[in-house]
Amino acid sequence: MKKIISTENAPKAIGPYSQANEANGFIFISGQVPIDPATGKLVEGGIREQTEQVLKNIRAILETAGLGFEHVVKCTCLLSDMDNFAAMNEVYARYFTQNQPARAAYGVVKLPLGALIEIECIAAR
């Protein structure tokens, strides 16, 4: 049985999906793009600012589920330009300081709303 996880502190889904679902003690967080939930718009700036916003959105969803970054077991990072990998990684490392999750990073042709980055993750209780 699954439970929908939703918070006003992260952007609303921009399609027919949930911010996150919980099933059997696992939380599956949908891909987050750098939308500021207060404005509903992409944050200004480059990859650092966008990565920061994505991780803030993920934090809000995790907190709603009663969890933190230490509970994340897997992330998938999608980048519109792999040349942004090192800068993204610098910001990402500030959020995952210990017991880092498994991760994959891919370069993609295009992301929703013209974002530079999207991250999805799985956490476990």
The interaxial angle of helices 47-64 and 85-95, nearest 10 deg, is 30
* CA 19 from centroid of its chain's CA atoms: 10
Write the pLDDT tens digit of every residue in 60-86. 999 999 999 999 999 999 999 999 999
Spatial CA neighbour of 13 closest among 51, 55, 57: 57
Q: Which domains does the chain have, with CATH numbers?
A: 2-124 (3.30.1330.40)
pLDDT tens by residue, 18-39 = 999 999 999 999 999 999 999 9
